[in-house]
Structure 1
Amino acid sequence: MPAPTPTPTLARRTLLGGGAALGAGLLTAGARPQDRPLGDPFTLGVASGDPTPDGVVLWTRLAPQPDAEDGCGGMPDHPVPVQWELAADPGFRRIVRRGGQVARPALAHSVHVELAGLPAGREFWYRFRVPGRTAHVSPVGMTRTAPAPHTWASPLTMAFASCAQYEHGWFTAYRRLAEEQPDVVLFLGDYIYEYEANDYVAKSGNVRDHLGPETTTLAGYRQRHSQYKTDPDLQAAHAAAPWIVTWDDHEFENNYADLVAEEQDPYPTPEQFAARRAAAYQAYYENMPLRAASRPNGVDLQLYRRFSWGRLAEFHVLDTRQYRDDQPNGDRFPAHSPERDDPNRSMLGAQQEAWLLDGLQRSPATWDVLAQQVMVHEHDYLPGAARGFNPDSWDGYTASRQRLLDAFVERGVENPVVLTGDVHKHYAADLTRNPSDADADPIGVELVCTSITSGGDGSDEYAAGRSQLADNPDLKLASDQRGYVVARLDRQQLRADFRVLDRVSQPGAAVRTRASFVTEAGNPGLQPV
C-alpha cells in the first residue's frame, strides 16, 4: 500500500510531532510511577471541541495497541493518571493552565478535560502527558475559545466535512482541511463506518481494509474508532482547530431511525438492537471531544446543542437520527407514499424541534447556522417528468421540513444557513418556503459537503449532476468529487468554497476550488463567484 501522506510544516501552528521534544520538563511535579511501563499511549492523537467564550474540551484516549480486538487499546484494567497543559504559545513558554485527570477503563481510558474561565476569542496550544518510569508526551494540538457574547467578532473561517469511509480512500482531504487553518471544524456525520472489510466497495476499489467484523459490540466500535483515529491525516485535522461534531447513521448502523433497524426481517430483537445502539453511542462519546453533558445514558445521548460565535454566528447542532420516525415507503427509493406527508411524523422529535425553533427565534446572530446531516431542500433525483425523492432525507418528512421553513419566515430568521453531509456529493441550493414553486423567493441557503472518501474517486464530469440541475431549479451546484467546504463569514456576507480532490485512491492529492458562492446578509440566495 502507498505510504500515508507525509506531515507538512504548518507555518502558524505547531501541530504534530513536537510533543516529545517539548515534553522534557512538562509537569514533572506530582508524577506517579505506573504499575508497568506502557508503550506510546498517544497513538490516537489529540483533539479539542465544543468551544465556548470561556472554555473548550480537550480530548485524548490512551491506546498503546489501538488494533486490540477487545477494544481496550492495550491498556491495563485500572485507572491511569494523565496530566495536561494549556499554553498561549506553541512553544509552551506561557503556560495558562495545567492539571490532571484520571483515564478510566469504563471510558476506554479516554480523557475529556472541560476548561472554563479562559479569555474569549483566543488561541491556545495543549498537550497531555502520562508520567511514569518512561513518561510519554502527546502531540500538540491547537484550539481556541469563541468570541465574547454580544460582540462583533472578526471574520469567521469554518470548514465542514462528512462521510469518511476508511476503506474507500486515503484521508488526504483531512490533511488539506487542516492546512486551511480554520477557526472551527464542523463534522456532519459518518465519522466511521460499521461494515466489515469489503462489504462496501467503492467504484474505484477499496485501498485498505477495516479491522474486525461488522461493528455490533462495544469492543468492535471501540476498535473501529481506534483504527480511524490512527490515521495521521485525521489526527492533523483534529489538532488544527476545535471540532463541533454530530453524527449520522454509520456511527451506529446504516439508515437506522431511532430504535428501528435498517433491515427488520430477519434482524436482532429490539433488545439486541438497543444494546447495539448503547454500545455505539458509548464508543462515540469516548472518542469525541464532547462535554460530560453528552455522556450517554443507556441508549440515549444528548447531542443536539448550541454554540455562539459572538453576534456573528449561532450554531444549532442537530441530531436527525436518534428521534426521527421510521422512513416512509419502507425506506425504498423513490419515496412516493402519502406517509411522507403525514404531519404527525417528525425528523427531529417534538422536544428537539421545539428547542430548535425557540433558539432560532431568540438568536441575536447575523447568521444562524444549522449543522445537520441530511438534505433539507426538495431534491428530485429522477430526470424529466418523473419524480423521485430520498425517503431518508427531509424529503421523507415533508411536514417536519415545512415547519422548519415556515419558522425561518415567521420567527424572523434573516440569514439561515443549513450545512449538510450524507450524500457524498457537493450541492448548493437556495431554500424556499414553497419548494414546488420555481418562482418563490429564497429564504435561506443549503450548503452540502461531499465526502472525505466515501464512494472513492469521483469525477468532475457528473452527468447525473447536470440532470439534477435541470430538474431542480433551486439547485446551483452538483459535483461528484471528494473534499470539504470552507465558508468565510463576516457581517456583510458568507462565502462558501467547495474544495475538491481529484483522487483519494492514492494519497497526497492536491486540493482546488470546484465552485464558490456568496450569500449576502439580509438578501438570502446563492450567487456564483
Structure 2
Amino acid sequence: MGRREFLRATGKIAGLTLGLTLLGSLKGIPVDASPKFKSYPFTLGVASGDPSPDGAVLWTRLAPDPLNGGGMPFHNVPVQWEVALDEGFRHVVQRGTEFARAELAHSVHVEVNGLRPDTWYYYRFKAGAEISPTGRTKTLPAVEAPLARLTFAFASCQQYEHGYFTAYRRMAEEDLDVVFHLGDYIYEYGANEYVADGGNVRTHQGNEIMTLEDYRNRYAQYKTDADLREAHAAFPWIVTWDDHEVENNYAGPIPEKGQSPEAFMKRRIAAYQAYYEHMPLRRSSLPQGVVMQLYRRFAYGNLAEFHVLDTRQYRDDQANGDGSKPPSPESLNPQRTLLGTEQEKWLLDGLTRSGARWNVLAQQVFFCQRDYTEGPGQKLSMDAWDGYPANRDRLVNFMAEHAGRNFVVLTGDVHANWAAEIKKDFNDSNSATLGVEIVGTSITSGGDGSDVRADTERILQENPHIKFFNNHRGYVRCTVTPEKWQTDYRVLPYVSRKGAPVVTRASFVTESGKPGLILVGEQPVATTHSLTLV
C-alpha cells in the first residue's frame, strides 16, 4: 500500500472511529479531527514494546516543536495506525485509530492484539496529512512453545551531554529479537552540571528539571537523537527505570537533596507521568497518583522468562547516609527492602512457577557483593544490593533451594562492564555458584572510558567472584539457546565523536545446569582516549 492509499484508507477509518467515540472518554477536551501542523509532528520517531504472543504496544508522540512543550494546541487528535507483514505495507493485517491525548502530551499508545506469535511486523502512524517513520516489532512466542534461540541486547545510562548515541546506531544494525533498557534513559541535571572526565560534547537544554513540562522537554531532547530513534524503530523494547528518570539516588518517597517531601512527591508525579508518555508501555502502567506499576514479566516460550524489576520506587532509604560505606547495623537490618514486600512476593512466586530453561532478573543496581576495600574490612555501595543484604539473601537462598533453574541477573547503573558469579556466600570463594550477573556499561555516561581504571585490579582481587571488568561505553548482546547462554560485551572506543565502530571486547558462556562463567574470547579495543581515575 502506497502513501496515497494509506491516507485514503485511514481517513475512512478515522471518520468511523470518531463517530463511535464517546465524548466522555476524551474528558471533554476538544477533538481536532483534521489537524494541520506548523511542521512535521513525528519528530520523536516511533517505538514499540511490551510484546505479547498476540501483540505489542505501538508508540509515538505528536510534537512539531519538541523542545518547547511539543507545540500542539490542547486538543485531542485522532491518529491512524496500521500493522503489516511487510515494510511496503502491501499486506496490512490491522489498522485503526487511537487518540493523541492532550493531557498525555499528545502521546499515542496503541495496544495491538490478534497478531501471530513469534512474528515480525511493520507499523506506522498518520495524523492529518502527515505519516510517521516506519517501525518494526516482534511478538512473543506462544506460551511454553519450544524455542531454539533468542538474541537480545540490553542497555542503560545515556547521559546526553557525555557523548553521542552511536551505540544505538550499532545496536540497530544487529540481528536482535528485543531490547531491554534498564534505566537512566534521561538525566535530570541542568546544563553542564554533570561533566564527564573528558568534558561534555553536548548540552542539556535548561536547568535541572522539576516540572512536568521540564521532564517532557528533556525526553524530547533525548529522542531527537537520530541514533536512539533508529534503535527504537528496529526492535521492540522492554523498559524499566532507575533513579535519573526522577532524581539521582532517590529512594521511594525520599529525595536525595534539598526538597521537602511534598515538593519531591510533586516532582515524582511529574517524572512518572513523563516517563509513561515517552515509553511504549501498556495502560496498566499508566501512573495512578504517586504510583506507577512497572514490574512485570515476559516469557519467551519455554526458553527464558524475564522478570523486570523496579528497584527504585519501593525501596527503603539508603543506609549510612548513602555512598560507599562499611556494613553497619542499619544496612544489615533484616527488615530493610530494596524491592518492597509486594514486589518481592511477586518475584518469588513467579520464579517458583516458572518452567523456563533460563530465569532472568532484568533490573538496575549491582546484585553481587562488590568490596572496594583492599585487605580486611569492607566498603560497599549503599545504593546497590550491598546496602540491602537481607533482601538479597532471601533471593540467594531461593536460588540455592532451586538449583538448576539457570539464574541470570541483568544489571545497569554503574557505567562499566562487569561479569560476576552469584555465590551462596560472597565472602567464601569456595561456596556454591548459583547463577551469573551480567552488568552492562553505559551508552554514554562517563564519556569515552577506557579498558581499565585505577581501582580495577584491587576490586577484582578483593572479589574473586567478579571475573571481568571493562570501562568502555556500549551495550551487551546475549544469545540464548536451551544448552547455553552467550554474553558478548559490545563496546565503542569513543563516544565523544560520532561514527565509532563497535567490537566485542569479551565473550562469556554459561552452560545450562552449570552456573558459572567461561571466557570464550577477548579482543583489546584501540582508543586514543584513556581514563585512569575512579
Instruction: Give TM class, smaller chain.
Output: over 0.9
Name the structure 2 match of 1:474: 465
Within the alignment, does 1:76 sit opposite 2:59 as a pair?
no
Quote the Cα distance in structure 1 between the aligned partners of 2:375 and 2:4: 62
Find the residue that maps to 2:436 and give its secondary structure: strand
Cα shift at 1:433:
1.3
Find the residue that maps to 2:450 and give its secondary structure: coil
Cα shift readout 1:349-384 (whole Å, capped 9, x = no counterpart):
000000000100100100011000001100012334
Name the structure 2 match of 1:268: 259
Find the residue that maps to 1:226 and give its secondary structure: helix
Quote the Cα distance in structure 1 between the aligned partners of 2:449 and 2:37: 46
Quote the Cα distance in structure 1 between the aligned partners of 2:361 and 2:477: 15
User: Quick one: which amino acid aligns to residue 177 of structure 1?
Assistant: M
Name the structure 2 match of 1:252: 246
- Ranked by relative contact order (alpha carbons within 8 Å, sequence separation 6 or more), the top structure is 1
Quote the Cα distance in structure 2 between the aligned partners of 1:91 and 1:280: 37
Name the structure 2 match of 1:95: 92
The 5-angstrom pairing of residues 51-450 of structure 1 reads 51-68=51-68, 71=69, 73-131=70-128, 135-263=129-257, 267-412=258-403, 414-450=405-441
Decide whether aligned partners of structure 1 residues 524 and 36 sit closer, same or farther in structure 2, where only a CA change above 3 A counts: same
Decide whether aligned partners of structure 1 residues 493 and 326 sit closer, same or farther in structure 2, where only a CA change above 3 A counts: same
Cα shift at 1:335:
3.7
Cα shift at 1:332:
2.9
Q: Are the counterparts in 2 of residues 496 and 517 from structure 1 also a CA contact under 8 Å?
A: yes
Decide whether aligned partners of structure 1 residues 329 and 413 sit closer, same or farther in structure 2, where only a CA change above 3 A counts: farther
Quote the Cα distance in structure 2 between the aligned partners of 1:65 and 1:527: 50
User: Quick one: which amino acid aligns to residue 79 of structure 1?
Assistant: N
Q: Normalised by the size of structure 2, how large is the TM-score? A: 0.92
User: Quick one: which amino acid aligns to residue 458 of structure 1?
Assistant: G
Name the structure 1 match of 2:18: none
User: Quick one: which amino acid aligns to residue 76 of structure 2?
Assistant: P
Name the structure 2 match of 1:484: 475
- Which contiguous aligned blocks of 4+ residues in structure 1 show a shift greater than 6 angstroms? 18-22
Q: Are the counterparts in 2 of residues 19 and 139 from structure 1 also a CA contact under 8 Å?
A: no
Quote the Cα distance in structure 1 between the aligned partners of 2:2 and 2:448: 34
User: Quick one: which amino acid aligns to residue 131 of structure 2?
Assistant: V
Quote the Cα distance in structure 1 between the aligned partners of 2:326 and 2:219: 33
Decide whether aligned partners of structure 1 residues 326 and 235 sit closer, same or farther in structure 2, where only a CA change above 3 A counts: same
Cα shift at 1:21:
9.5
User: Quick one: which amino acid aligns to residue 297 of structure 2?
Assistant: R
* Selected match of 1:515 from 481, 492, 506: 506
Decide whether aligned partners of structure 1 residues 95 and 50 sit closer, same or farther in structure 2, where only a CA change above 3 A counts: same
Find the residue that maps to 1:346 and give its secondary structure: coil
Cα shift at 1:340:
1.2
Cα shift at 1:408:
1.2
User: Quick one: which amino acid aligns to residue 477 of structure 1?
Assistant: F
Taking only the aligned residue pairs, the percentage that are identical comes to: 57
Cα shift readout 1:122-159 (whole Å, capped 9, x = no counterpart):
0000000002xxx1111111100000111111300010
Cα shift readout 1:77-102 (whole Å, capped 9, x = no counterpart):
10111000100011111001000011
User: Quick one: which amino acid aligns to residue 39 of structure 1?
Assistant: S
Q: Which runs of 5+ in 2 are unaligned?
A: 16-32, 521-534
Name the structure 1 match of 2:496: 505
Quote the Cα distance in structure 2 between the aligned partners of 1:401 and 1:96: 46
Q: Are the counterparts in 1 of residues 371 and 459 from structure 2 also a CA contact under 8 Å?
A: yes
Decide whether aligned partners of structure 1 residues 433 and 461 sit closer, same or farther in structure 2, where only a CA change above 3 A counts: closer
Cα shift at 1:410:
1.8
Decide whether aligned partners of structure 1 residues 62 and 527 sit closer, same or farther in structure 2, where only a CA change above 3 A counts: same
Quote the Cα distance in structure 1 between the aligned partners of 2:3 and 2:189: 36
Cα shift at 1:386:
4.5
Cα shift at 1:23:
5.6
Find the residue that maps to 1:365 and give its secondary structure: coil
Q: Are the counterparts in 2 of residues 19 and 140 from structure 1 also a CA contact under 8 Å?
A: no
Q: Are the counterparts in 1 of residues 442 and 473 from structure 2 also a CA contact under 8 Å?
A: yes
User: Quick one: which amino acid aligns to residue 27 of structure 1?
Assistant: T
Cα shift at 1:20:
6.9
Find the residue that maps to 1:402 and give its secondary structure: helix
Within the alignment, does 1:27 sit opposite 2:20 as a pair?
no
Name the structure 2 match of 1:10: none
Cα shift readout 1:174-231 (whole Å, capped 9, x = no counterpart):
1111111310000000000000000000011101111121111100000000100110
Decide whether aligned partners of structure 1 residues 21 and 449 sit closer, same or farther in structure 2, where only a CA change above 3 A counts: farther
Quote the Cα distance in structure 2 between the aligned partners of 1:122 and 1:37: 35
Cα shift at 1:336:
2.8
Decide whether aligned partners of structure 1 residues 30 and 121 sit closer, same or farther in structure 2, where only a CA change above 3 A counts: closer
Cα shift at 1:36:
3.9
Q: Are the counterparts in 2 of residues 23 and 137 from structure 1 also a CA contact under 8 Å?
A: no
Decide whether aligned partners of structure 1 residues 512 and 149 sit closer, same or farther in structure 2, where only a CA change above 3 A counts: same
Give the paired residue count: 503
Cα shift at 1:30:
4.4
Quote the Cα distance in structure 2 between the aligned partners of 1:20 and 1:163: 37
Find the residue that maps to 2:506 and give its secondary structure: strand
RMSD of the TM alignment (CA)? 1.6
Cα shift at 1:515:
0.6
Quote the Cα distance in structure 2 between the aligned partners of 1:100 and 1:174: 30
Q: Are the counterparts in 2 of residues 468 and 478 from structure 1 also a CA contact under 8 Å?
A: no
Decide whether aligned partners of structure 1 residues 439 and 508 sit closer, same or farther in structure 2, where only a CA change above 3 A counts: same
Cα shift at 1:462:
3.0
Cα shift at 1:513:
0.6
Find the residue that maps to 1:480 and give its secondary structure: strand
User: Quick one: which amino acid aligns to residue 45 of structure 1?
Assistant: G
Q: Are the counterparts in 2 of residues 329 and 337 from structure 1 also a CA contact under 8 Å?
A: yes
Find the residue that maps to 1:422 and give its secondary structure: coil
* Selected match of 1:464 from 448, 455, 470: 455
